[in-house]
Structure 1
Amino acid sequence: MAETKHISEQPITLHNWYKHVEWINTTLILIIPLLGCVAACYTPLRLATAAWTVLYYFWTGLGITAGYHRLWAHRCYEASLPLRIFLACVGGGAVQGSIRWWSRGHRAHHRWTDTIKDPYSVRKGLWYSHFMWMVLKQNPKHRGRTDVSDLDEDPVVVWQHRNYGLFILMFGMIFPMLVAGLGWGDWKGGLVYAGILRFGFVQQATFCVNSLAHWLGEQPFDDRNSPRDHVITAFVTLGEGYHNFHHEFPSDYRNAIEWWQYDPTKWSIWVWKQLGLAYNLKQFRANEIEKGRLQQLQKKVDQKRAQLDWGIPLDQLPVVAWDDFLAETQTTGKALTVIAGVIHDVTDFIKEHPGGKAMISSAIGKDATALFNGGVYTHSNAAHNLLSTMRVGVVRGGGEVEIWREREKPMKH
């Protein structure tokens, strides 16, 4: 009997499309936020509610970036119990899954980046990595394995995971509504703006790390995989946009290492340390970071170098005897000269020589090493580079002087 294919392996049709959909995720990240947009059309936005929405946006955003991501998924620092509880609560208010679920997927993403086992691989498409991986059912056999046993030992993580549905209701919608309602009487605005629309925007901001941060920007540390650095992504994601650095040095509590780079998550963790709420902040050694940066720069230099004409490599040039060099110069009419044991054809360059025709013509059929390297004029680096494109051969035994010495040896006995 043929094995039944998983729904993800079956084409989407008009008759089975609903079977492909993860309805709980779709409801939380698409349907409810869209209903919130409709409700906003009938709900005036008060100034106090707008301010509270922005503040709570940052709180819940930090719950993901500083909590779910840097504290639990990567263990970039350690946090006191009050801070862990706070981050678990506001992180739950971002409505992106429990700490355990989120961290398991993120660790798989790092371990299996850009492969079929990467849960939100950008190789499957920008929109897939942004949110479609949650909207559509995934094949369990492609699920990359990771270890989250350390999270099972954290009572805060276990507590939040077991009660995550309550966290969505309480910190996703009820708490922001209570603050606005009890604070200034805007119950509906608190629910619509500080609740539903706020967590919708936080979701989309976080999703940009999975999509935009693998598509837009530069790769200053490594280009073997897709992660990239860009200030736009950093601005949208509370500093998570320096993703190329993060994938190279995931245990560093910073995403931005330069003082001028935008990383409010890093700044928050640092402030918490000063307050005694966070400790053991991890930083990769500057030496290793600079080695990675230098290696990537060297790779880019090598790639650019390969596109330029540096002349025929020396080991690919024919080896020519000195007498044959002289004979070819005299019989072919070519303007050949030897510099540092390498034969150069300067026929087409004589008229363009900045020093005039006479000087370069005097070197034809001769060893012009001393002439070129300071005997008459110390040539520039550009001149050396241009000369390399005129290589046509290598003199056997070196230059003219070496050959004279070799020929005179028998005469001394």
Structure 2
Amino acid sequence: MDEQGKLAASRRATGEGRSEAEVGERGEGGYRQEIVWRNVILMTLLHLGAVYALLLIPKAQLLTLLWAYLCFLVTALGVTAGAHRLWSHRSYKAKLPLRIFLAAANSMAFQNDIFEWARDHRVHHKYSETDADPHNARRGFFFSHIGWLFVRKHRDVIEKGSKLDFYDLMEDPVVRFQRKYYKTSVVIMCFMIPTLVPWYFWGESLWNSYFLASILRYAISLNVSWLVNSVAHLYGNRPYDKYINPRENTFVTLGAIGEGFHNFHHTFPFDYSASEFGLKFNPTTCFIDFMCLLGLASDCRRASRQTILARKERTGDGSI
């Protein structure tokens, strides 16, 4: 397929030409937000369920709590090592078994399929902190954290995003398969497996298993991911580029298994470690390096030490 054909296929996959029901409309006074009430209701119920799940912690078996945490780590890797560093930024290469694992883990995360996640993330980087940014932090903490899911996308997200090329994503059969069977994979990975394993293997009640390993784990993993969009774009220092919004935030780094070095990441988005410090506070980098040792990952891209130091000197805020 020639370049024009690839771009056309990519634009069709992004949903270019969506109806007014799918994006916000422009009124006489400019952009008018349209609330997606389904998302508001579902997210409210999810968080109420998570609060209730906290009451069940003393009644659950220790193995169940450990299992819920393991599911959280797998969920996180599906986003950080998978949808983010592998598919969005192509910062390293992964062989088929690893890509299958990361796709399954991404379905456990239930944050849209790999194609949609990577598509929106590339648009976020290209048009960060503008109306074309899906979770524009200049619209405030609430919007960048969760509010962006409560309203239709700004028209600029669709219009400018449709001009980017996402053909490489659809060339991956794992991405295509997950996209085709996404709903089924979410039911299995996000809800059935986390719930059934404690019940079947060590006799935990289905009630405890469901609310702790599925609902609470899912709610926490969502909010941890959203912290990268909100807190890491609003609070912290900017040692690499003081002219952009993303910040270095230790709290987000610890919660999001290495994704809080956000000023670095937006300055050097191709770096597979998403950080200057390699393995330090970066479980995702540890995972990718381990996969390299097993021969399942390779060609990890890094920003050179000289490039990093030169960028700090030229545009950094001098904080580190």
Give the TM-score normalised by the residue count of structure 2.
Answer: 0.84
Alignment match, 2:95: 80
Alignment match, 1:180: 198
Cα distance in 1, alignment partners of residues 174 and 73 from structure 2: 21
Q: Is the 8 A contact 2:279 2:285 kept in 1?
A: no
Matched residue type, 1:66: A
Q: 1:253 aligns with which of 250, 272, 279?
A: 272
Count of residue pairs the alignment pairs up = 291
Cα distance in 2, alignment partners of residues 170 and 179 from structure 1: 12
Greater RCO structure (CA 8 Å; 6+ sep): 2
Query: Once the 2 structures are TM-superposed, how far is the Cα of residue 260 of structure 1 from its aligned partner?
Result: 7.2
Cα distance in 1, alignment partners of residues 215 and 65 from structure 2: 13
Taking the TM superposition and a 5 Å limit, the aligned residue runs for 1:273-288 are: 273-288=292-307
Query: Once the 2 structures are TM-superposed, how far is the Cα of residue 142 of structure 1 from its aligned partner?
Result: 4.0
Q: 2:49 aligns with which of 35, 38, 46?
A: 35
Query: Once the 2 structures are TM-superposed, how far is the Cα of residue 242 of structure 1 from its aligned partner?
Result: 0.2
The superposition leaves residues 216-255 of structure 1 with CA deviations (integer Å, 9 ceiling, x where unpaired) of 1110110211011121110011100000000011111012
Matched residue type, 1:207: W
Matched residue type, 1:256: S
Cα distance in 2, alignment partners of residues 229 and 160 from structure 1: 32
Cα distance in 2, alignment partners of residues 150 and 183 from structure 1: 41
Alignment match, 2:214: 195
Q: Is the 8 A contact 1:8 1:138 kept in 2?
A: no
The superposition leaves residues 106-138 of structure 1 with CA deviations (integer Å, 9 ceiling, x where unpaired) of 000000011111111100111101111111122
Cα distance in 1, alignment partners of residues 171 and 86 from structure 2: 14
Q: Is the 8 A contact 1:29 1:203 kept in 2?
A: no
Q: 1:28 to 1:75 in 2, by over 3 A?
A: farther
Alignment match, 1:115: 130
Matched residue type, 1:121: N
Q: Is the 8 A contact 1:28 1:95 kept in 2?
A: no
Q: Is the 8 A contact 2:49 2:211 kept in 1?
A: no
Query: Once the 2 structures are TM-superposed, how far is the Cα of residue 27 of structure 1 from its aligned partner?
Result: 5.1
Query: Once the 2 structures are TM-superposed, how far is the Cα of residue 28 of structure 1 from its aligned partner?
Result: 5.0
Pair 1:161-2:179 in alignment: yes
Cα distance in 2, alignment partners of residues 171 and 113 from structure 1: 31
Alignment match, 1:47: 62
Matched residue type, 2:249: H
The superposition leaves residues 82-129 of structure 1 with CA deviations (integer Å, 9 ceiling, x where unpaired) of 111111111111111100011100000000011111111100111101
Question: Percent identity at matched positions?
Answer: 33
Matched residue type, 2:245: S
Q: 1:101 to 1:28 in 2, by over 3 A?
A: farther
Cα distance in 2, alignment partners of residues 279 and 42 from structure 1: 43
Alignment match, 1:373: none
- Report SS of the residue matched to 1:93: helix
Q: 1:234 aligns with which of 250, 253, 256?
A: 253
The superposition leaves residues 55-80 of structure 1 with CA deviations (integer Å, 9 ceiling, x where unpaired) of 11111111100001000000111111
> Which runs of no fewer than 5 residues in structure 1 stay unpaired?
12-16, 302-413
CA RMSD for the aligned pairs?
Answer: 2.4
Q: Is the 8 A contact 1:242 1:256 kept in 2?
A: yes
Q: 1:285 to 1:109 in 2, by over 3 A?
A: same
- Report SS of the residue matched to 1:20: coil
Query: Once the 2 structures are TM-superposed, how far is the Cα of residue 168 of structure 1 from its aligned partner?
Result: 1.6
Cα distance in 2, alignment partners of residues 275 and 123 from structure 1: 42
Q: Is the 8 A contact 1:239 1:264 kept in 2?
A: yes
Q: Is the 8 A contact 1:92 1:172 kept in 2?
A: yes
Cα distance in 1, alignment partners of residues 41 and 257 from structure 2: 25
Cα distance in 1, alignment partners of residues 201 and 61 from structure 2: 12
Q: 1:276 to 1:196 in 2, by over 3 A?
A: same
Query: Once the 2 structures are TM-superposed, how far is the Cα of residue 22 of structure 1 from its aligned partner?
Result: 5.0
Matched residue type, 1:292: R
Whose Rg is larger? 1
Q: 1:205 aligns with which of 216, 224, 235?
A: 224
Q: 1:276 to 1:134 in 2, by over 3 A?
A: same
